[in-house]
Structure 1
Amino acid sequence: MTETVSGSTGSHRKNASKAGAGLKIERVYTTEGVHPYDAVTWERRDVVQTNWKTGENVFEQRGVEFPDTWSVNASTIVTTKYFRGAVGSAEREQSLKQLLDRVVLTYVKAGKEHGYFASDADAEVFEHELTHMLLHQVFSFNSPVWFNVGTSSPQQVSACFILAVDDSMDSILNWYREEGLIFKGGSGAGLNLSRIRSSKELLRSSGGTASGPVSFMRGADASAGTIKSGGATRRAAKMVVLDVDHPDIVEFVETKEKEEEKIRVLRDAGFDMDLGGSDITSVQYQNANNSVRVNDEFMRAVEEKTAFGLRGRMTGEVIEEIDAVELWDKIAKAAWACADPGIQYDSTINDWHTTPEAGRITASNPCSEYMHLDNSSCNLASLNLMKFLNEDGSFGVEKFVKSVELIITAMDISICFADFPTDPIGETTRAYRQLGIGYANLGALLMASGLAYDSDGGRALAGSITSLMTGTSYRRSAELAGIVGAYDGYAQNAAPHTRVMRKHLAANDDIRTLHTMDIAVHREATKQWADNLKIGEKNGWRNAQASVLAPTGTIGFMMDCDTTGIEPDFSLVKFKKLVGGGSMQVVNQTVPAALTKLGYTNETIEAIVEFIGEHGHVIDAPGLKTEHYEVFDCAVGERAIKPMGHVRMMAAAQPFLSGAISKTVNMPETSSVEEIADVYYQGWKLGLKALAVYRDNCKVGQPLSSQKSQDDKTSASAEAATEVKTVVVEKPIRRRLPKSRASITTSFSVGGAEGYMTSGAHESGELGEVFLKLGKQGSTLAGVMDAFSIATSIGLQYGVPLETFVSKFTNLKFEPAGLTDDSDVRMAQSIMDYVFRRLALDYLDFDTRSALGIFSADERQRHLDTGSYQPINDGSTAAELVETPVETLPKAEAAPAAEVVVEDAAKAAPSQAHTSAELLEVITGSAVDSPLCMTCGTKMRPAGSCHVCEGCGSTSGCS
Structure 2
Amino acid sequence: MKIKRLFTMEGESPYASIEFEKRASVIRDPDGSIVSKWDNVSVPKHWSQVATDILAQKYFRKSGIPKHLKSAKEKGIPDWLQPSLYDKAKDDQEISEADSSAVDTTVSETDAREVFHRLAGCWTYWGYKHNYFDTEEDARAFYDELCHMLANQMAAPNSPQWFNTGLSWAYGLSGPAQGHFFVDPKTEEVMPSKDAYTRPQPHACFIQSVKDDLVRDGGIMDLWTREARLFKYGSGTGSNFSDLRGDAEPLSGGGVSSGLMSFLKIGDSAAGAIKSGGTTRRAAKMICLDADHPDIERFINWKVHEEQKVAALVSGSKTIKRLIKDLFEAIHGWENESEKFDMELNKDLRSVAKASRLASMPFSYVYRIIHLSKQGYTGVLFDEYDTDWNSEAYQTVGGQNSNNSVRLNNSFMQAVEQDKDWNLYWRVEKVKAKKEGREPVPCKKLKATELWDEIAYAAWASADPGIQFDTTINEWHTCPADGPIRASNPCSEYMFLDDTACNLASLNLLQFRDPKTGELDIAKLHHGSRIWTIVLEISVLMAQFPSKNIADLSYKFRTLGLGYANMGTYLMVNGIPYDSAKALAICGAVTSIMHMTSYSTSAEMAKEFGTFSGYEKNKDNMLRVIRNHRRAAFRAPDSEYEGLTIKPVGIDSQHCPPELLKAAQQDANMALKLGEKYGFRNAQVTVIAPTGTIGLLMDCDTTGIEPDFALVKFKKLAGGGYFKIINNSIPPALYKLGYDDSEVSDIGNYIKGHARLDGSPCINANILRTKGFTSEVLKRIEEQLPTAFDISFVFNMYTLGESFCKETLGLSDEQLGDFDFSILKHLGFSSKEIEAANDYICGTMTIEDAPHIKPEHYSVFDCANRCGRKGKRFIAPEAHIRMMAVAQPFISGSISKTINMPNEVNITDIKEALSSSWHYGLKCNALYRDGSKLSQPLNVNVEEYLWDEDEVEGGIAAEKPEQVQIAEKIIHRYIAKRRKLPHRRSGYTQKAVIGGHKLYLRTGEYDDGTIGEIFLDMHKEGAAFRSLMNSFAIAISLGLQHGVPLEEFVEAFIFTRFEPNGMVSGNDSIKMSTSIIDYIFRELAISYLGRNDLAQVNPDELQASAVHTQNKDQPEFDNEQVFSERTLSTEESLAFLEQKESDFEGVDFALLKNSDSKPEQVHAEFTGNSDFGVDTSTESWETQERSPKTLVQEARMKGYEGEACHTCQQFTMVRNGSCLKCASCGATSGCS
* TM bracket, shorter-chain basis: 0.7 to 0.9
| Alignment of 1:439 onto 2:416 | no
Q: Does residue 286 of structure 2 align to residue 234 of structure 1? A: no
Change (3 A) 1:838 1:230: farther
Aligned residue number for residue 213 of structure 2: 168
Deviation at 1:97, TM superposition (A): 1.2
What is the rounded CA distance, in whole Å, between the counterparts of 2:30 and 2:611 in structure 1? 51
Per-residue Cα deviation, 1:856-876 (whole angstroms, up to 9, x for no partner) = 324999999xxxx99973794
CA deviations over 1:558-611 (Å, ceiling 9, x no partner): 111111111101111112111221111111121011111111111111111111
Structure 1 residue 515 displacement after superposition:
7.5
- Say if 2:131 is the partner of 1:115: yes
Residue equivalent to 1:463: 588
Q: Which residue of 2 aligns with 1:921?
A: 1194
Cα distance, 1:529 vs structure 2:
1.1
Give the corresponding residue for 2:298. 251
Of 110, 127, 145, the match for 2:143: 127
Distance 2:1222 2:61 in 1: 21
Which residue, 617, 627, 636 being the options, matches 1:492?
617
Verify: 1:30 aligned to 2:8, yes or no. Answer: yes
Aligned to 1:299: 413
How far apart, in 1, do the equivalents of 2:1107 and 2:163 lie? Answer: 45
Count of aligned pairs between the two proteins? 811
Match of 1:48 in 2: 26
1:64 matches 2:23: no
- Whether the 8 Å contact between 2:1192 and 2:1211 is mirrored in structure 1 is no
**Partner residue in 2 for 1:657:** 891
Equivalent in 746, 750, 755 of residue 611 of structure 1: 750
Q: Which residue of 2 aligns with 1:631?
A: 860
Residue type matched to 2:1216 in 1?
A
Q: Unaligned regions of 5+ residues in structure 2, if any? A: 65-103, 168-172, 174-195, 318-383, 431-439, 636-649, 753-842, 938-962, 964-973, 990-1001, 1015-1025, 1059-1071, 1075-1080, 1093-1098, 1109-1115, 1119-1171, 1173-1188
Q: What's 1:944 paired with?
A: 1217
In the TM superposition, what whole-angstrom CA distance separates every residue of 1:220-265 from its partner, at most 9, and x where no partner exists? 1111111111131421111101111101000101111011111122
Q: Check conservation: 1:264, 1:701, Cα contact below 8 A.
A: no
Q: 1:798 — aligned with what?
A: none
Provide the secondary structure at the position in 2 that maps to 1:855.
helix
Q: How does 1:133-148 map to 2 (within 5 A)?
A: 133-148=149-164
**Distance between the aligned counterparts of 1:856 and 1:445, measured in 2?**
43
Distance 1:575 1:768, change over 3 A: closer
Map 1:339-378 to 2 at 5 A: 339-378=463-502
Unaligned segments of structure 1, at least 5 residues: 1-22, 704-716, 718-730, 747-757, 771-818, 889-895, 899-904, 906-915
Larger deviation, residues 372-381 vs 265-274 = 265-274
Please give the TM-score of this superposition, normalised by the length of structure 2: 0.62
Partner residue of 2:921 out of 687, 706, 710: 687
Distance 1:464 1:627 in 2: 25
User: What's the TM-score, normalizing by structure 1?
Assistant: 0.79
- The aligned counterpart of 1:523 is 662
Whether 2:559 is the aligned partner of 1:559: answer no
Distance 2:299 2:1030 in 1: 40
Per the alignment, do residues 425 and 286 of structure 1 end up closer, same or farther by CA in structure 2, a change over 3 Å counting?
same
Higher mean Cα deviation, 225-234 or 531-540? 225-234
Amino acid in the other structure paired with 1:687: G
CA shift at 1:496, angstroms?
0.5
Q: Which residue of 1 aligns with 2:1130?
A: none
Q: Is the 8 A contact 1:395 1:517 kept in 2?
A: no
Q: For the Cα contact (< 8 Å) 1:266–1:273, is it kept in 2? A: no
CA deviations on 1:905-957 (whole Å, 9 max, x unpaired) are 9xxxxxxxxxx996993572654454423245443111111111111111222
> What is the CA distance between 1:296 and its match in structure 2?
0.5
Q: Do 1:145 and 1:158's aligned partners in 2 also have CA atoms closer than 8 Å?
A: yes
After superposition, the Cα gap between the structure-2 partners of 1:838 and 1:926, relative to the gap in structure 1 and judged at 3 Å, is farther
Q: Could you tell me how far apart the structure 2 residues matched to 1:108 and 1:738 are?
A: 72
* Aligned 8 A contact 2:585 2:655 in 1: no
Specify whether residues 930 and 701 from structure 1 end up closer, same or farther in structure 2 by C-alpha distance, changes over 3 A only.
Answer: closer
In structure 2, the CA distance between the partners of 1:885 and 1:668, relative to structure 1 (3 Å rule), is farther
Q: Deviations over 1:666-691 (max 9, x none)?
A: 11111111111111111111111111
Determine the C-alpha separation between the residues in 1 that align with 2:674 and 2:30. Answer: 56
Quote how far apart the aligned CAs of 1:142 are: 0.6
Match of 2:1053 among 856, 876, 881: 856
Q: Percent identity?
A: 40
Gap change, CA 1:661 and 1:279, over 3 Å in 2: same
Aligned to 2:794: none
Cα root mean square deviation, aligned: 3.8
In the alignment, which of 899, 903, 908 is matched to residue 669 of structure 1?
903
Paired position in structure 2 for 1:645 = 879
Q: Tell me which moved more, 79-88 or 661-670.
A: 79-88
In structure 2, what residue type is equivalent to 1:166? K
Pair member with larger Rg: 2
Call closer, same or farther: CA 1:930–1:689 in 2, change over 3 Å. farther
Q: Which shows bigger deviation, 931-940 or 135-144?
A: 931-940
**Which residue of the partner structure matches residue 844 of structure 1?**
1045
- Residue 478 of structure 1: aligned partner: 603
Cα separation, partners in 2 of 1:52 and 1:357, compared to 1, 3 Å: closer
- Alignment partner of 2:506 out of 377, 382, 397: 382
Which residue identity lines up with residue 222 of structure 2 in the other structure? N
**Residue of 187, 201, 204 corresponding to 2:252:** 204
Q: Distance in 1 between matches of 2:1040 and 2:629?
A: 60
Higher relative contact order (CA 8 A, sep 6+): 1
CA distance in structure 2 between the partners assigned to 1:179 and 1:158 by the alignment: 14
- Do the aligned partners of residues 928 and 821 (structure 1) sit closer, same or farther apart at CA in structure 2, a change above 3 Å counting? farther
The DSSP-based 3-state class of the residue aligned with 1:238 is strand
Aligned partners of 2:844, 2:732: CA distance in 1, in Å? 19
Within 5 Å, give how 1:416-455 maps onto structure 2. Answer: 416-455=541-580
Alpha carbons 1:765, 1:843 under 8 Å: kept? no
Of residues 117, 133, 158, the one that matches 1:101 is 117
Residues 838-870 of structure 1, C-alpha deviations (whole Å, 9 max, x = no match): 668x85264xx49xx963324999999xxxx99
- Tell me, yes or no, if structure 1 residue 538 matches structure 2 residue 677: yes
Cα 1:480–1:820 shift into 2, 3 Å: farther
1:879-910, Cα deviation, whole Å (9 max, x unpaired): x99x989999xxxxxxx999xxxxxx9xxxxx
Q: Per-residue deviation at 1:743?
A: 8.7
How far is 1:38 from its partner?
Answer: 3.0
1:615 is paired with a residue of what secondary structure? coil
Q: Deviations over 1:686-724 (max 9, x none)?
A: 111111111111112899xxxxxxxxxxxxx9xxxxxxx
Do the aligned residues in 2 keep the contact of 1:115 with 1:484 (CA within 8 Å)?
no
- What does residue range 182-331 of structure 1 map to in structure 2 within 5 Å? 182-205=230-253, 207-268=254-315, 269=317, 270-316=384-430, 317=440, 318-331=442-455
Query: Would the alpha carbon gap of residues 335 and 178 (structure 1) be closer, same or farther in structure 2, given more than 3 Å must change?
Result: same
What is the deviation of 1:62?
2.1
Question: One-letter code of the match for 1:301?
Answer: A
* Cα distance change, pair 927–135 in 1 and its aligned pair in 2 (3 A): closer
Pair 1:180 & 2:247 matched = no
Local SS of the residue matching 1:37? coil
Aligned pair in 2 of structure 1 residues 870, 477: CA closer, same or farther (>3 Å)? same
- Measure the CA separation in 2 of the matches of 1:644 and 1:691: 12
SS in structure 1 at match of 2:657: helix
**Residues in 2 aligned to 1:917 and 1:368: alpha-carbon distance in whole angstroms:** 35
Change (3 A) 1:143 1:651: same
Q: Is the 8 A contact 2:310 2:393 kept in 1?
A: no
